[in-house]
Structure formats: C-alpha cells, structure tokens
A and B are shown apart, each in its own frame.
Chain A
Amino acid sequence: MPQDKADLLQGTLDMLILKALSLGELHGYGIIQRIRQLSDEMLHVEQGSLYPALYRSEQKGWVSSRWDVHQTGREAKFYKLTRTGRKHLEAQEASWDRLVLAIAKVRQAT
C-alpha cells in the first residue's frame, strides 16, 4: 500500500487549498483549477490527494461544506474557509515565509 507522499508536502497542500478558498467559496474541481491558475499552470493537484486533504481540513474545522447547485445547473459540494481556517492559513503562510527566507540565506552562503 502506498504511504502518503510525505507529511511535509501534505502541510503544503493544506496551505494551498486554504489559500485557494481564501479568495471565495469553491467546489473541489474549482480548487484544483484555481491552484493551477494561481501557479501559472505549474501546480496540478491530483483528485486522489485533494479530497483526503479537504476532508481532513474539514475535520480540523478549517473549512465547512454544503451541497449547492453550480452556475451550470449541476450540483456540487462547496467549501468555505472558516475563521479558524483563516487563522491557520495566516500562521502557515508566515512560517512558510520564514522557511523560504532561511533556505535562501543558507543557499546564499556558498
């Protein structure tokens, strides 16, 4: 059985999903699309990774969900960032920035 890719990546995926949702309510497909757009087509999240991550975020109370009808008339499950989710996202982004900065400094050293 394949293990989850890596916990390090999972945290990052959580952050990307929350970031996508911070711009507004979205369904699963929409989240993938938005991440793709925001990353200039560089990041493509697999469905197989997205939903477990989404469900976990829901259990942690970062997002909430509801079934609704899509603008095309098709029904879909929509996800929304909660207040805890927003706080978590801010904390994640801050620590990510620090990490990037730190790595950059280390790399400049040589």
Chain B
Amino acid sequence: MKWFNILRDRIRALRQREDVIDDIDREMRSHLALQVEANIHAGMSPAEASEKAERSFGNVNRAVAAAYDVKGGGVFETLVQDVRYGLRMLAKHKAFTAIAVVTLALGIGANTAIFSVVNELLLSPLPYRDADRVVMLWEVSPSGRHQNSASRANFRAWSAQSTSYQNIAAFSDQRDNLTGVGDPEELTVQLATPNLFKVVGVDPILGRTFLPEDADPSADPVAVLSYGLWQRRFGGQPAIVGQPITLNGAKYTVIGVMPQNFQFHIRQRSGTGRPAELWSILPMPVGPGANERGRFLSTVARLKDGVSVAQADTELRTIAARLSDEAPESNKNWSAEVLPLREQFFGNVRRPLWLMLGAVGFVLLIACANVANLLLSLATTREKEIAVRAALGARRTRIVRQLLTESLLLALLGSLLGLFFAWLGIKALVAISPRDLVSLQTVGLNLTVLAWTLGVSVLTGIIFGLAPAFHISRLNLNDSLKEGGKSESGQATGSRRLRNALVVTEIALAVVLLASAGLLIRSFIRLQQVDRGFNTDNVLTMVVRLSDARYKEDPQVVNFFSQTLERVRQLPTVRSAGIVNFLPLYGGLGSSTGFKILGRPEPPPGQRPGTDVRVVDAGYFATMGIPLLRGRNFSETEQKEPRHVLLINEALARKYFPDQDPLGQRLDVTMFDQPTPAEIIGVVGNVRYDSLVDESPPAVYFPHPDLTYSFMTLVIRTDGDPAAIAPAVQREIRALDPNQPVSDVRTMNDVMADWVSRSRFNTLLLGLFAGLATLLSAVGIFGVMNYSVALRTRELGLRLAVGAQPRQVLLLVLKQGLTLTIAGVVLGLAAASALTRLLSGLLFGIGTVDVTTFTTISVLLVVVSLLACYLPARRAMRIDPLSALRYE
C-alpha cells in the first residue's frame, strides 16, 4: 500500500512534473497567505505582516524543493535526468562514444558468441528424457585404453548382474545398402537391443519402436526410420509404416518413424562417422561360433532413481573384476567405466570451450580497461563541468551516479552493437566448426544468451565506469576551477597512475592470450609436419560395401574388388590404386588384436602381444606412399587365394624382433576361427593410423583373400586433381554391378583436414581473440600516450624552447610508452607461465612454457606498442614551442 502510493506519486511526477510542482507551490502560497492574515489579525500593518510572514517562512523555492523531494519523481526522475544528460554528453563527444562503443561491442560480441556455444553444448539439456540419468558403459583395456567397446558376453553379464539401471541397451553402428527405392544408397544403420529407445526416452512420431519380441531370432526383421530418411527416400508418406524395405538384399518391415531432431550418435567407436538413419535389431547369438568375446558393442543405460553415477561406476568395476577372474582368457585385467552422457558427447570439448570463454573474458577486460582509460581522459576535460556541478551543490554520490549512468549507457549501446557482432560471429563459428560438432548447427541467440549478454554489459559498465567515477568525484574543486583542468601536475598524478596501471594490465592480458595462441599455433604447425608415414596429396578415397546377401562367398568379394581395381587402373590420370579396410585417421576398429609368434613360449594371459590389423592389396602401399623397407610385397597368387602370408610394420619388427630377422617368421593372429599362422614376407613403414599425435603401434597387413572384408576403401593416386576422377570410378563400379553404391567419396587431404579440424578450430579462434586483444591494447596504449602528450604540451614545448632536439622529445615519449609496455609484458609472461598449464591437453610436441613462443610474442607486442606510440611521439616532436607556451 505504502510502496504503491510512493510509486504512484513518483510516476505521476515523472509524467506531470509541472502539475505536481504547481500543487505544492499553491499549498505553500496558501500557507503564506494564512500567516499574513493571522499577522494582520494580530494588529500588524499589511506590509509588516507579509514581510514577517515571508521571513518566518524562509525561501519558498527551497520549501517547494524539499517537499518535492518527497512527492516528486525521486530516483526515477534523477535516472531520467541522468540518462538524458548522459545521452547529451555522449552525443557531444562523438569520437569518444564511437571508439568506446565499438571497443565494447567487440568484447561483448565475442563473449556472447562463445557463450552461446558454451550454453548450447555444456549448459542446455540434451534432447533425451531426463538426459542426466542416461550413462554410457565401456570397458577399459589392460593397457588403460578408455571407452573401449564391450563384448557380447560382457554386456550380457553387465545386464544380468547390475542393479543400478532401469534399462540397459547395446548398439553398434554399421553401413548397409538400401536398395529397391530409387538409386542404391549406403546408410548408417544402428543395430540395437529393443530397449534402446526406452533408455533414451524418445517416442516415435509414427508407428512404434522395438518390442522385446522383435529380437526373437525367428521374428520378421523390422526397421525404424529416421525423420530425414523418411522424408528423403519415402516422401514423408505416413503409409510407410507396415511397408517392406530392402537392406543388404534382405527384407525389413518398417514399424515406425522417429521425430525430426532425434539422433543418437556416439562418435566414440562408431566407425561410421555419422548419425544413424535407420534402426534395426542387434542380433545377439549365443553358443559356439557366436564369437561372444569380440568387443564391438556400445552400451547405454538409464540409471534407477536415486542411483548416482559414482555408485553405478563402482558396481560396474566390481562386476568387471569378477569377469576378469571368471574368464581370464578374454577378460584378464580388463576393467569397465560409467560415463554420463554429456561427458560422452562433450567431455573432450569442455576444456577448450571454457578456455575460449576465458579468452574472450580477457578480451572484454581489455576492452573495459580501454574504455575506462578513455573515460578518464575525457573526465579530465570535463573536470570543470563536474566541479561546477559540485559547487552548485550536487552531492558526491549524485555525481558518481551520473557518471555510472553514462558508463552503463555506453555498455548498453556497446552490447546492442555487440549482439550484431555476435550474430555474425556465431554464423562464422558454425561455418568453420569441426564436422563432428554436429549440434553446433543449432546454436543461436536465445533468451539465455540475451540475458547473459545483458548481465555482462551491466557488469562491464560498472567495471569500467566505477574507477573513473570515483576518481573524478574525489577531485579537488578549487584546483579544477582555477586550473581549467589541463595539466599533468598535482591532483592529476593519481589519474595518470590509474591510466598507466590500466594500460599495463591490458598489455599483460594481451600477452597471456598471445602466448596461448602462439603455443596452439606452434603445436598446429608441428601436427602438420609430423611424419605420418603416408602421402596424402592427389589421393582419392571412397568406400564400397558389398551386400552379404548377394556376395555370399569370400572369393566373390575378392574377385569384385580385384576387378574394380583392374578397371580403375586403366582410367586416364590414374597412377596407382589399392584397397584397405580402414583408412588412416578414419576411425575403424582400432582395437588391439592378440597374436602369437610361432616357436616362442606362450606368454601369461593379459600379456599377449597385440597388433593393429589391416587388410590391403599390394597396390595400397605405393598409392599411399608407404615404403617397403625389407622383403617383398604380395604376389599375384597371394592376392587371388589365401596363402597365409602377411606384411608387418617397422614398429612390430622393432618391438618383437629386435635382434632377429622377422622375414620367414610365422605369426598366429587371433582373427580366425582356428589357429592360422601366416608367414612374414616383408616389412613396411609405420603409419599413424589412429591419430597423428600418437606413435604408430605395431601393425600387420593381410592380403584380401586371407582376411576377406566385404567393405573396403578404394585409394586412388592420380596426376592432378584426384576429385575429378570420382565419376569415372563410380561408372566402372556400376558397370560391374549396377546395384552397387559407393560412399564417403573424399580426397585423402580432406580426411586429414577433418582430423585436424578441431585443432585448427581451437587455434583459429584463440588466434583471433589474441589478435583482437593485441589490437585493443595497441589502441589503449595509443590513447594513453596521445593523451599524455596533450597534457605535457607545455612541458615538451618548454624543453624544445630551451634547446632540446625534436629527436630527444621523440625518444622521451617512446621511452615512456616502452616502459609501460615492458612492465605489461613482464607481468603478462609471469601470468602466462602459470595459466598456459591449462592448455596442456591441447598442445602437441611443445611444453606449456615455450621460450621461442614467449620471446616471439614479447617482441611482437613491443613492436606493436612502439608503433602505437609513434604517432603521439611524432606529434610531440612537432610541437611549436611558442604556441605551446602560450597554450593557457
């Protein structure tokens, strides 16, 4: 009630200020008149009566003002006044306003753009029901390899023995050929246990998802479509439910369609590199010949209410330890882990993202320091105005409030422009983001982001406004009025110190950013230069996956690929061609397969040697530029039928045959149903298959007939642009089999670029922010030096007048700027040495304190700031002594 009345009065006063004042005035005059009347009544003459009354009343205006304080607009009115006044001030100092607003907009825009990504990836809920209750379950290998696929046997044991989950589902992605409607096409298919959709908690928009009975081996095969596939291949017809489709030559009945935005793509161990477009039942055969020990399953589960991730993790480790004892032949020393879904999706980007947010925070701080400096410089020219206001009775809090209002106005203007910058920035971010950050596509300016921006800009306004405001409000009135506020002496010393401190701070911040960016750039260059063991130029790759239904026998498959290669090699510009089951850096199984060296004693379980296994033809090595170091390549016969031979890489030769000739030795790699020793016929160079960062592990190469894969990647080396040959290759494949699709047509350089894309993304962004920081601090030091020269005009003029050389004046100013810069650089290097530790996981080949990088960026900053000082210094050199002395 009370507050409502006050508010009502305040708002009325804002709208009808004159009326309110009139009313008060009228009451005062009526009061005065009553007093006069009373005086006359008491026997005074009219003149005496009114004089006495007025004297006792005092100043009517002041009485009105005091009353107005209660009834008037109060804070609201001062706010409106302050805003009006602030806008007038900003409009008056156009250059200042423009620079300040653009500076702030850059800082706020960069912050908003990065925050919108952080918000999307790290803060927004994942698009699954109660997504924080969904976890991934993985095995951990004896060598400490995390997020390893699980075997069917172990998945079954987890399901049976764990009590932490409402539901636990297994899935595995693969590529299958869809035929029968339009052109044949290769799809990513997610094979899953029926309860997968229950675990993620998403319902279909059409039909149903899997029921337990769909998993019965005798049941008819069923399929669930993604929204995209439904639209693209089946015209979005609701009648699709119940219709048959052909997948790898087998019939499936469509039972449902998922919602538009649904996807469940766990990149780790997926091997397909893209989200599934179709779901079908994961076969879970039991018994002999089912190879229950092979590890290829991903596992996802929904926690029971009240069960924490840590509890589930402990339970799973206990089960894994038990399995290690029960089935040591396949589980010895294997462990397991539980990972929250968000961690699974974004665990590896979390750190870089927070770092980026930190980096843009630094940029914003630099922008704040710059604007604070501008405000301080401006304030000195406004000293007189402020002194007059203070002399006229403005309270100090009132002046601080006025100045803060101006800062907030600046910040809000900056954030408006900043939102525009952010909008542009987000578009750019999405355009250059790594392909695997799929969900970045949905990043945008939403309410959370806008609220955050508003918060940031208010905070910014206070940060850069507070120091100048308090500083100015402390000024000594008399001095300001007397001196006209144009000197570098006396009370201005405090202001100069503050300005210098701000500049040193921003240079230090810029050093930290530059150092971080420099480290990333150096790592990135190293990454490009690393000897990866193959040559990517002029190589085209494409995946061909034969349908098991139509190519039932291994020789058919081998024959198809050798015919394809024969035809491809005939094409113009093709220099060589080959096949491999998994390309370098493509993902793939990546698991370590055990092997035995014949004639050596059996090692204890868990300590068997392991190797990467690839399937290739003889042409693969020449095409990829992998050297044959010893022995020979596969012969014609060995590429037609199994002759039990293999090639090994140098790493395997070094590790297992350090002082023995590996040629002629026989290895039994456990890839086959029964022991099948193969003879080593040659040694080839190492290739970094899994990552550019890690050293190559041991690897063996089987010829295609020995270990037949129905999906292989063609690699083709050409003269000139490799992409140009793609249509001709596809024609040849279609000539062999009109129903055979190809997929993933990419040059090897693209494959490489994809692999380094995240590292490039981080480097690019941080580099950009560091550049921005350097630019802003250059502007900052320019502003400070320029202003300092303006203040010292008289002193410098005097020096020139008494015989100083212009050169000396130039050096004097440069020296002043250099002192500030070096102070900032030293401070920044100290901070950088501590802070770049945060980058450790992102660097490759260098430490977090790298002398070369730190030296380079220090020199760079000194040069930049000298350039920034040069203009003011030149101005100082050209001061005309006479006019300078007459200056005041």
Which residues from chain A sit less than 8 Å from chain B, CB to CB?
Answer: 1, 27-30, 33, 46-48, 51-52, 55-56, 58-61, 70, 72, 74-77
A-B contact pairs, 24 of them (CB 8 A): A29-B35, A30-B34, A33-B38, A47-B57, A48-B58, A48-B62, A51-B27, A51-B28, A51-B63, A51-B67, A52-B69, A55-B67, A55-B71, A59-B2, A59-B6, A59-B9, A61-B5, A70-B34, A72-B37, A74-B33, A74-B34, A74-B37, A77-B26, A77-B30
Which residues of chain B from 578 to 612 have any CB-CB distance to chain A below 8 Å in the complex?
Answer: none
> Are B70 and A59 in contact, CB atoms less than 8 angstroms apart?
yes
B734 within 8 A of A: no
With both beta carbons as reference points, the residue of chain B lying nearest to A53 in the complex is identified as: B70
Alpha-carbon gap, A60 to B3, bound state (A):
8
The digit string for B19-47, where 1 denotes a CB below 8 A from any CB of A, is 00000101110110111011000000000
Contacts of B37 in A (CB 8 A): 72, 74
Tell me whether A51 and B395 are in contact in the complex, defined as CB-CB below 8 angstroms, given that A59-B5, A60-B5, A76-B34 are known contacts: no
Contacts of A55 in B (CB 8 A): 67, 70-71
Tell me whether A61 and B67 are in contact in the complex, defined as CB-CB below 8 angstroms, given that A47-B31, A47-B58 are known contacts: no
With both beta carbons as reference points, the residue of chain B lying nearest to A2 in the complex is identified as: B66
> Are B1 and A28 in contact, CB atoms less than 8 angstroms apart?
no
With both beta carbons as reference points, the residue of chain B lying nearest to A46 in the complex is identified as: B58
Q: In whole Å, how far is B37's beta carbon from the nearest beta carbon of chain A?
A: 6
> Are B70 and A56 in contact, CB atoms less than 8 angstroms apart?
yes
With both beta carbons as reference points, the residue of chain A lying nearest to B8 in the complex is identified as: A59
Q: In whole Å, how far is B211's beta carbon from the nearest beta carbon of chain A?
A: 69
Contacts of B35 in A (CB 8 A): 29
B393 within 8 A of A: yes
The 5 A-B residue pairs with the shortest CB-CB distance, nearest first, are A55-B70, A29-B34, A51-B67, A59-B5, A52-B70
Contacts of B33 in A (CB 8 A): 74
Alpha-carbon gap, A55 to B8, bound state (A):
13
Which residues of chain B from 33 to 84 have any CB-CB distance to chain A below 8 Å in the complex?
Answer: 33-35, 37-38, 57-58, 62-63, 66-67, 69-71
Q: In whole Å, how far is B20's beta carbon from the nearest beta carbon of chain A?
A: 10
Alpha-carbon gap, A76 to B37, bound state (A):
13
> Are A51 and B66 in contact, CB atoms less than 8 angstroms apart?
yes
Which one of A55, A58, A74, A76 has the greatest number of beta carbons of chain B within 10 Å?
A55
Tell me whether A75 and B67 are in contact in the complex, defined as CB-CB below 8 angstroms, given that A1-B393, A47-B57, A59-B5 are known contacts: no
Q: Please tell me the number of chain B residues within 8 Å of chain A, measured between CB atoms.
A: 27
Contacts of A59 in B (CB 8 A): 2, 5-6, 9, 70
> Are B62 and A29 in contact, CB atoms less than 8 angstroms apart?
no
Which residues from chain B sit less than 8 Å from chain A, CB to CB?
Answer: 1-2, 5-6, 9, 24, 26-28, 30-31, 33-35, 37-38, 57-58, 62-63, 66-67, 69-71, 393, 395
> Are A27 and B70 in contact, CB atoms less than 8 angstroms apart?
no
Alpha-carbon gap, A49 to B31, bound state (A):
14
> Are A28 and B31 in contact, CB atoms less than 8 angstroms apart?
yes
With both beta carbons as reference points, the residue of chain B lying nearest to A61 in the complex is identified as: B1
Contacts of B395 in A (CB 8 A): 1
Contacts of B34 in A (CB 8 A): 27, 29-30, 70, 72, 74, 76
> Are B71 and A27 in contact, CB atoms less than 8 angstroms apart?
no
Contacts of A33 in B (CB 8 A): 38
> Are A48 and B71 in contact, CB atoms less than 8 angstroms apart?
no
- 10 new A-B pairs (CB below 8 Å) besides A1-B393, A61-B1, A74-B33? A30-B34, A33-B38, A48-B63, A51-B27, A52-B66, A52-B69, A59-B5, A59-B9, A72-B34, A76-B27
With both beta carbons as reference points, the residue of chain B lying nearest to A76 in the complex is identified as: B30
With both beta carbons as reference points, the residue of chain A lying nearest to B57 in the complex is identified as: A47
> Are B27 and A28 in contact, CB atoms less than 8 angstroms apart?
yes
Q: In whole Å, how far is B539's beta carbon from the nearest beta carbon of chain A?
A: 82
> Are A74 and B30 in contact, CB atoms less than 8 angstroms apart?
yes
> Are A47 and B1 in contact, CB atoms less than 8 angstroms apart?
no
Q: In whole Å, how far is B69's beta carbon from the nearest beta carbon of chain A?
A: 7
Contacts of A60 in B (CB 8 A): 2, 5
Contacts of A27 in B (CB 8 A): 30-31, 34
> Are A51 and B30 in contact, CB atoms less than 8 angstroms apart?
no
> Are A51 and B6 in contact, CB atoms less than 8 angstroms apart?
no
Q: In whole Å, how far is B826's beta carbon from the nearest beta carbon of chain A?
A: 47
Tell me whether A47 and B62 are in contact in the complex, defined as CB-CB below 8 angstroms, given that A59-B5, A74-B33, A74-B34 are known contacts: no
With both beta carbons as reference points, the residue of chain A lying nearest to B24 in the complex is identified as: A51
> Are B66 and A48 in contact, CB atoms less than 8 angstroms apart?
yes
Q: In whole Å, how far is B885's beta carbon from the nearest beta carbon of chain A?
A: 42
Alpha-carbon gap, A27 to B33, bound state (A):
12
Q: In whole Å, how far is B65's beta carbon from the nearest beta carbon of chain A?
A: 10
Alpha-carbon gap, A74 to B30, bound state (A):
8
> Are B5 and A75 in contact, CB atoms less than 8 angstroms apart?
no
Contacts of B24 in A (CB 8 A): 51
Contacts of A70 in B (CB 8 A): 34
Q: In whole Å, how far is B246's beta carbon from the nearest beta carbon of chain A?
A: 82
With both beta carbons as reference points, the residue of chain B lying nearest to A55 in the complex is identified as: B70
Contacts of A47 in B (CB 8 A): 28, 31, 57-58, 63
Alpha-carbon gap, A97 to B529, bound state (A):
92
Contacts of A77 in B (CB 8 A): 26-27, 30
Alpha-carbon gap, A81 to B536, bound state (A):
94
With both beta carbons as reference points, the residue of chain B lying nearest to A84 in the complex is identified as: B1
Alpha-carbon gap, A53 to B472, bound state (A):
35
> Of A52, A61, A75, which is within 8 A of B30 by CB?
A75
Alpha-carbon gap, A47 to B1, bound state (A):
27
With both beta carbons as reference points, the residue of chain B lying nearest to A75 in the complex is identified as: B30
Contacts of A51 in B (CB 8 A): 24, 27-28, 63, 66-67, 70
Contacts of B393 in A (CB 8 A): 1
Q: In whole Å, how far is B8's beta carbon from the nearest beta carbon of chain A?
A: 9
Alpha-carbon gap, A108 to B1, bound state (A):
43
With both beta carbons as reference points, the residue of chain B lying nearest to A29 in the complex is identified as: B34
Alpha-carbon gap, A55 to B71, bound state (A):
7
Contacts of A76 in B (CB 8 A): 27, 30-31, 34
With both beta carbons as reference points, the residue of chain B lying nearest to A28 in the complex is identified as: B31
Contacts of A48 in B (CB 8 A): 58, 62-63, 66
Which one of A28, A48, A61, A75 has the greatest number of beta carbons of chain B within 10 Å?
A48
Tell me whether A29 and B67 are in contact in the complex, defined as CB-CB below 8 angstroms, given that A48-B58, A59-B5, A74-B37 are known contacts: no
Contacts of A61 in B (CB 8 A): 1-2, 5
Alpha-carbon gap, A24 to B868, bound state (A):
77
Q: In whole Å, how far is A11's beta carbon from the nearest beta carbon of chain B?
A: 15
Q: In whole Å, how far is B827's beta carbon from the nearest beta carbon of chain A?
A: 43
Q: In whole Å, how far is A60's beta carbon from the nearest beta carbon of chain B?
A: 5
